[in-house]
Structure 1
Amino acid sequence: MSHQQGQIRKESGTVHGNELRLDKDRSEQIIEALNTDLANSYVLYHQLKKHHWNVEGAEFRDMHVFLEEAYETVEEGADEIAERAQALGGVPVAGMGALTDRATVSFEDENVYDIRTSLENDLEIYGDIIESIRDHIELADNLGDYYTGEMLREILIGVEEDAHHIEHYLEDDSLVLENALN
């Protein structure tokens, strides 16, 4: 196992001053919220990636492409969240253990499920993340950090759009006949 050493520039969990003139108390609250959103994003990212790798069946191609686009959207949002936490003087949560500890959503597990079950599990995480981001938009706005609120609104648009697409995939109308092979 590798062991990294070197001079620590910013210790995880600490908040330093910023040039954005947002005081430390407000920054701490926002960074805490952003790190939760970041951790949740990576749980969803890895679950979507898992489903992208394992999808099978008649809708394989469409689902494979959609899931790739969805995890890329989540990753882009996570990057913005991490960079904003850093700009506010914080240290974005990054390690797998820290991400797992910080997340308020749970990865389904290592088993492979049918795509309908997988999407239902994804939709559950999306719903929790949507609620969390909405709360954090309100927090940022109430603390006078309108940039973070606006950034989270933009991320929320992509998250809600993908959740809505999953709702459509889960509808019972399909061109695929259930007993076509029997």
Structure 2
Amino acid sequence: MPGDNARKALIDSLNGLLADYFTLYLKTKNYHWHVAGRQFRDLHLLFDEQAAELFALTDIIAERVRKNGGETLTGIAAIAARSSIADDDRASVDAMEMVRNLRDDNARLVERIREAKAAAGEAGDNATEGMADDWTDQAQQRVWFLTQTLA
């Protein structure tokens, strides 16, 4: 049976992942609101679709923290302190720079999901471990779409 340290490591990993999801959600929405240029319509819609997908998982991840007996993030400062994804609060960013940033951030998210999956395995949380596969697939699809947009 997994120990208390494994459970704490899982909670910590999930909270870091949650912070990344919130940060990437807000960054994606910022880009959705401020994208301009020849590909405006396509990127505006793509960013909105991806933001919705990111936001939908925040509650699921937070509930995994709670189901594992932990406390989750409580506000913006907690998110900022835990996120490994850099914020971008600029209103004027080149559209292709937006795409590159989001591609790279989603690739980073894949790494963080894999870390959470490993922590779930150590803690014996097969539910989180299984969900992480779906989260990875979604993030990899976002990376793929963004990569193809740059081609």
How does the TM-score come out when normalised to structure 2? 0.93
Counterpart CA distance in 2 for 1:92 and 1:163 is: 27
Q: CA RMSD in A?
A: 1.6
Instruction: Report the counterpart of residue 13 of structure 2 in structure 1.
Output: 33
Distance in structure 1 (CA, Å) of the matches to 2:99 and 2:59:
24
- For residue 114 of structure 2, what is the aligned residue in structure 1? 134
| CA displacement, residues 93-140 of structure 1 (integer Å, 9 cap, x when unaligned) | 131011000111211342421110111111121111111111221221
What residue number does 1:74 align with? 54
Q: Which segments of 5 or more consecutive residues in structure 1 lack a partner in the other structure? A: 1-20, 172-182
Q: Deviations over 1:45-100 (max 9, x none)?
A: 01100000011122211111111110111111221100110111111113101100
Q: How many residues align?
A: 151
Aligned-pair identity (%): 26
Aligned to 2:34: 54
User: Do structure 1's residue 108 and structure 2's residue 88 form an aligned pair?
Assistant: yes
Q: In the alignment, is residue 98 of structure 1 matched against residue 81 of structure 2?
A: no
**Partner Cα distance (1:122, 1:99) in 2:** 18
Say yes or no: does 1:123 pair with 2:111.
no
- Partners of 1:111 and 1:72 lie apart in 2 by 20
Give 1 or 2 for the bigger CA radius of gyration: 1
Matched residues in 2 for 1:52 and 1:31: separation? 31
- Whether the aligned pair in 1 keeps the contact of 2:24 and 2:54 (CA below 8 Å) is yes
Moved over 6 A (4+): none
- Which AA in structure 1 matches 2:59? D
The structure with the greater share of residues assigned to helix is 2
Matching of residue 63 in structure 1 with residue 43 in structure 2? yes
**Alpha-carbon separation, structure 1, partners of 2:141 and 2:23:** 18
Q: Is the 8 A contact 2:22 2:55 kept in 1?
A: yes
Letter of the structure 1 residue corresponding to residue 100 of structure 2: E
TM-score, structure 1 as length reference: 0.78
SS in structure 2 of the partner of residue 56 of structure 1 = coil
AA aligned to 1:145 is D
2:18 maps to a residue whose letter is L
The one of 114, 119, 129 equivalent to 1:149 is 129
